[in-house]
A and B are shown apart, each in its own frame.
Chain A
Amino acid sequence: MARVSDLGGAPGHGPVPAPDPAEPVFGERWEGRAFALTAFTIGRLSGRNLEAFRDTLDRLTPAEYHDSGYFGRWLHAAQAMLVASAVLAPGAVDARARRLAGETVEEPPDPAEPAKPDYSPTAPGSLREVEAAPEYAVGDRVRARKGARLPGYARGRVGTVARVQPAHVLPDTHAVFAGENPQHVYTVRFSARELWGDGDDVVVTLELFETYLERA
């Protein structure tokens, strides 16, 4: 089944909303609060990392993902990460929201103690040094196989390495605390004709991890 976040090339979408140069950073007050609370949740409260956050977004239901927009899905993911780390009890946010709405609701007791993942980053951010030389060089033909951050539309497609980028931690294992496993990352160019079967003079580039690729 297609992942909820994997939207590239999905049919059935209407016009893109018209850009508004005067759009405020946060359209409503709660969006700013959700942004900050989620950033703190990822950064220190849940003990989880950026890739775990993206993975959590990917596990939301379509309703959770789409109903309240970008910051709405952040809020759902923050809540899920705090519950997964036993910082908050399941249902705690819902119960409090209901009390705020005037309902009489019992709130669940806090978890006995937090269960955060046992992980300390080896360096800040996502970029890392990798000792091994990159497997691929600019100009190499490669096929995209599979990987957590490989959009479905490029799976099985052949492109050309355009740039060798700094190595990154590997989302596939890092998201689930199975190791940073840094890898070389490549910007790969795909022709629209290869991806979609039409579209001359259009190229799409993606950043892909070394194990997502095989020589073509």
Chain B
Amino acid sequence: MTDPTSPALRAEALEQLLTERGLVRTDVIDGFVARYESDVGPLNGARVVARAWVDPEYKARLLADATPAVKEVAWGGGANGEHIVVVENTPVLHHVVVCTLCSCYPWPVLGLPPSWYKDPAYRARVVREPRAVLAEMGLELPPEVAIEVHDSSAEVRWLVLPERPAGTDDLTEEELAALVTRDAMVGVAKVAAP
């Protein structure tokens, strides 16, 4: 780690310069990092999805006005979550989310975006050839399924409500939430049956 242009050294340099000037504190940085490593993550979105699967009235509220509905079951609001819109995947319509200009993503419900979401290949290609990109990522959609790609170009943050897998009628809301993946809530995967 002796390349002075490496991001690791530049990050350390910046942290030193700001702490020496009393502008940030190391323990505050530690706490901020830990919060996004453990508290803010896709479990929040999974709880929202599971509730929508078991409670039709909740689902109706969620699809009509997601921002307050999300707050009923999970922490919402704040950075990258001021206005959340939920769209429902069905057997004939598939939604998938991207931000081609940066990597806007609904942090309160999904945490920070994964590598593939931030990758220039995903940002460049999913608006141009979504069917091919989804197939590469392991989701083969039949040709009769229409696709809507949501390019998050302002402060609206999109969350996909995936289809509930068959054979899950006996599961509790908590068990259902454990099935829901981050990738399904961005729209690049389906939720698999247990």
Say if A and B assemble together: yes
Q: Which A residues fall within an 8 A CB radius of B?
A: 5-11, 13-21, 23-37, 39-40, 45, 54, 57, 66, 68-72, 75, 78-79, 87-88, 92-94, 96-103, 110, 125-127, 149-151, 153, 163, 165-166, 168, 171, 185, 187, 189, 195-196, 199, 201-209
Residues of B within 8 A of A (CB): 1-18, 21, 23-24, 28-29, 32-33, 36-37, 41, 79, 82-83, 85, 98, 100-103, 111-116, 118-131, 133, 136-137, 143-156, 181-183, 188-189
Say yes or no: A166 contacts B121, CB within 8 Å. Answer: no
Task: Specify the main secondary structure of chain B where it touches its partner.
Answer: mixed
Q: How far is the CA of A172 from the CA of B82 in the complex (A)?
A: 20
Seed contacts A21-B183, A34-B11, A40-B28; 15 additional CB < 8 Å A-B pairs: A13-B120, A13-B121, A13-B125, A21-B181, A32-B37, A35-B36, A36-B32, A40-B29, A40-B32, A70-B118, A79-B10, A165-B85, A201-B147, A204-B150, A207-B156
Contacts of B148 in A (CB 8 A): 189, 202-205
Interface centre among B2, B112, B156 (most CB of A within 10 A): B156
When A30-B12, A35-B33, A57-B102 are in contact, do A18 and B137 touch as well, CB less than 8 Å?
yes
Per the bound structure, the CA–CA distance linking A205 and B147 in Å amounts to 11
Q: Judging by beta carbons under 8 Å apart, are A93 and B17 in contact? A: yes
Q: B136 — which chain A residues lie within 8 A by C-beta?
A: 15-16
Distance in angstroms between the alpha carbons of A19 and B129 in the assembled complex: 18
Give bound CA distance, A18 to B126, whole Å.
Answer: 14
CA distance A25 to B146 in the complex (A): 32
Name the contact of B128 in the complex, choosing from A72, A196, A207 (C-beta under 8 A): A196
- Who on chain B is nearest to A125 by CB? B82
- Interface contact B37-A25, CB-CB below 8 Å: yes
User: Sorted from nearest, which 5 A-B pairs have the closest CB atoms?
Assistant: A8-B100, A96-B13, A207-B154, A32-B33, A30-B8
Partner of B102, one of A5, A28, A205: A5
Q: How far is the CA of A103 from the CA of B98 in the complex (A)?
A: 42
* Chain B residues, Cβ within 8 Å of A27: 115
Q: Which residues of B contact A24 (CB under 8 A)?
A: 37
Is the beta-carbon distance between B32 and A39 smaller than 8 angstroms?
yes
Give the residue of A71, A103, A171 whose beta carbon is less than 8 angstroms from that of B4: A103
Closest to B113 in A: A70
In the complex formed, the residue of B with least CB distance to A186 is: B154
Q: How far is the CA of A149 from the CA of B41 in the complex (A)?
A: 27
Between-chain CB contacts (< 8 Å), 16 pairs: A8-B124, A13-B125, A19-B114, A30-B8, A32-B33, A40-B18, A40-B29, A75-B14, A79-B10, A93-B17, A100-B4, A195-B127, A203-B148, A204-B151, A205-B151, A206-B151
Residues of A within 8 A of B120 (CB): 7, 10, 13, 66
Q: Decide if A151 touches B156 in the complex (CB within 8 Å).
A: no
Q: Are A37 and B29 in contact (CB under 8 A)?
A: yes
B181 cross-chain contacts in A, Cβ below 8 A: 21
The contact of A202 among B10, B123, B130, by CB within 8 Å, is: B130
User: Do the beta carbons of B114 and A23 come within 8 Å of each other?
Assistant: yes
A16-B122, A202-B147 known; A207 vs B4 contact (CB < 8 Å): no
Cβ distance A58 to chain B, nearest Cβ, rounded Å: 8
Question: Which residue of chain B is the closest to A171 with respect to CB atoms?
Answer: B154
Contact A37 B15 (CB under 8 A): yes
A149, B33: Cβ atoms under 8 Å?
no
The contact of B11 among A20, A75, A151, by CB within 8 Å, is A75
Residue of A nearest to B141 (CB): A201
Inter-chain contact B114/A97, CB cutoff 8 Å: no
Q: What is the CA–CA distance of A101 and B10 in the complex, to the nearest angstrom?
A: 10
B155 touches A127 (CB 8 A): yes
Least Cβ distance of A16 to chain B in Å? Answer: 5
B9 near A165 with CB under 8 A, answer no
Q: Which of A7, A92, A209 has the most CB of B within 10 A?
A: A7
Q: B2 to A102, Cβ gap below 8 A?
A: yes
